[in-house]
A and B are shown apart, each in its own frame.
Chain A
């Protein structure tokens, strides 16, 4: 193990030790922050009882349900406005205006429309992930090298063949950038939406724990959000390095 492998871990490990010691010697109230060992124990108990997985499943389903709806629409409409001139003229200005409304500003309206149901959460997530994917898809299509399209047309490609073999692959890197933006946004909106009100999910778990001053479980919830966010980002990177393996900019540092 070289010094560079070891050095980045010095600070977090020291912090953990100080934190644990501070709780153990009573300098830090468990109402403020429970000891790391307590958090791990709570994590373990929740995982063993199966409660943890229920909530993670509910939250993940919400997040990806919203992503599927909002991202899917963003992709389809982005492809449409990017490919068809009159669609851009008709729709793009409106979308650019709507884009400036923060999704969270819609919360009062959303509660009026959907109540505090599942559909309200799905709607909020769908609205917020729509724009990054829409914008990146639209610009991706516009930035496909016209030289490649011209070349493909001289080789007899047209219509769906041209779209599938040239335009879509050329747009893919932009779409994936949009997807990564959306994934980040998706978790943030999910947390807020679940905090408003929920009968299940990580947000419910933490808000419930707050009522009973179970700070260890609150921290478990925060940790879960962090882990899920990281996993989603890793998955998006995995997609990039597979789908864009032809792209010198996305190639892993292999010789």
Chain B
């Protein structure tokens, strides 16, 4: 792993072919197909229980697919891989290890100084000696991000990592994730229920519905993106309308007036998805 510390990192190519996951009574994923380019940032959105988290766990190797395959760089894999790191919704820091020691989890002794270096990149070098219990929710997620990135993963999976944070901290974290993604060049797969977050961060937004890919749109906006931008808002509206099973609408004014429920400004609904 030490060679990846010096050589420029290359993201992994991820290909999902006919990926299905069936629990005892329920099909969670039904033959989902998806291709992700090396270094691409893909966001997966969808309603709760649509299978987006299961998809992430399958890619992570935490679950075994019922059918279909996950391919990394063209080769089928199953089980955990050391070039893949996951960031969970809860930070999952070990409370009995100090912050830097948490970041050093799984590092070989000679690599442990890298932990402090990575803490510096997430802006928490001064909290290295603290216990995780002393940190705020946002700081814990930054430590979790540092812990994931210190291994220089080729694929970073983010399972609603900002879901439990307040609005301001979310924006800060989004900027940090984007910055580190551009710096390190890994492939990123983000599961989120926040369409604005997806549009803000991703090159492509994928909607999972009934266990299948229902929508796959590119986000052609230049980075860094601004929430106030008209193109940003239009794209966010379009995706959100589709998530809410509204007929496809090019502009907010052309929505079907006979829909089941009236759709207020999309921003107001963001948190309810």
A→B interface (CB under 8 Å): 145, 147-148, 150-157, 165-166, 169-170, 172, 244-248
CB of A248 to closest CB in B, whole Å: 5
B→A interface (CB under 8 Å): 60, 62, 80, 82, 84-86, 88, 90, 92, 94-98, 105-106, 131-133, 147, 151
Complex Cα distance, B102 from A166, in Å, reads: 11
Q: Look across to chain B and name the residue whose beta carbon is closest to the beta carbon of A243.
A: B96
Complex Cα distance, B80 from A141, in Å, reads: 24
With contacts A154-B86, A156-B106, A247-B133 taken as known, whether A169 is within 8 angstroms of B92 at the C-beta atoms is no
Q: Look across to chain B and name the residue whose beta carbon is closest to the beta carbon of A157.
A: B106
Complex Cα distance, B156 from A126, in Å, reads: 51
Query: Contact partner of B105 among A145, A155, A172, CB < 8 A?
Result: A155
Query: Contact partner of A166 among B60, B94, B151, CB < 8 A?
Result: B94
Complex Cα distance, B133 from A244, in Å, reads: 12
CB of B252 to closest CB in A, whole Å: 40
Q: Which residues of A contact B84 (CB under 8 A)?
A: 154
CB of B60 to closest CB in A, whole Å: 7
Counting chain A CB atoms within 10 Å of each CB, which of B84, B96, B97 scores highest? B96
Is the Cβ of A151 less than 8 Å from the Cβ of B92? yes
Is the Cβ of A147 less than 8 Å from the Cβ of B88? yes
Is the Cβ of B94 less than 8 Å from the Cβ of A148? yes
Is the Cβ of A154 less than 8 Å from the Cβ of B96? no
CB of A148 to closest CB in B, whole Å: 6
Q: Which residues of B contact A154 (CB under 8 A)?
A: 60, 62, 80, 84-86
Q: Look across to chain B and name the residue whose beta carbon is closest to the beta carbon of A147.
A: B92
**A/B interface sample: 29 pairs, CB < 8 A:** A147-B88, A147-B90, A148-B94, A150-B62, A151-B86, A151-B88, A152-B94, A154-B62, A154-B80, A154-B85, A155-B105, A155-B106, A155-B147, A156-B82, A156-B106, A157-B106, A165-B105, A166-B94, A169-B94, A169-B97, A245-B131, A246-B96, A246-B97, A246-B98, A246-B131, A246-B132, A246-B133, A247-B133, A248-B133
CB of B182 to closest CB in A, whole Å: 24
Q: Which residues of B contact A152 (CB under 8 A)?
A: 94, 105-106
Complex Cα distance, B88 from A166, in Å, reads: 17
Q: Which residues of B contact A247 (CB under 8 A)?
A: 95-96, 133
CB of A175 to closest CB in B, whole Å: 13
Q: Look across to chain A and name the residue whose beta carbon is closest to the beta carbon of B133.
A: A248
Is the Cβ of A169 less than 8 Å from the Cβ of B96? yes
CB of B176 to closest CB in A, whole Å: 20
Complex Cα distance, B97 from A244, in Å, reads: 11
CB of B143 to closest CB in A, whole Å: 12
Q: Look across to chain B and name the residue whose beta carbon is closest to the beta carbon of A149.
A: B92
CB of B72 to closest CB in A, whole Å: 15
CB of B109 to closest CB in A, whole Å: 13
Is the Cβ of B94 less than 8 Å from the Cβ of A165? yes
CB of A242 to closest CB in B, whole Å: 12
Q: Which residues of B contact A157 (CB under 8 A)?
A: 105-106
Is the Cβ of A156 less than 8 Å from the Cβ of B133? no
Complex Cα distance, B133 from A247, in Å, reads: 7
Complex Cα distance, B86 from A110, in Å, reads: 57
Please give 6 more A-B residue pairs, beta carbons under 8 A apart, in addition to A148-B94, A169-B97, A246-B98.
A147-B90, A154-B62, A155-B151, A244-B96, A246-B133, A248-B133
CB of A22 to closest CB in B, whole Å: 53
Complex Cα distance, B94 from A157, in Å, reads: 13
Complex Cα distance, B80 from A145, in Å, reads: 20
CB of B199 to closest CB in A, whole Å: 28
CB of B152 to closest CB in A, whole Å: 13
Q: Look across to chain A and name the residue whose beta carbon is closest to the beta carbon of B151.
A: A155
Is the Cβ of B80 less than 8 Å from the Cβ of A153? yes
Complex Cα distance, B95 from A157, in Å, reads: 17
Q: Which residues of A contact B132 (CB under 8 A)?
A: 246
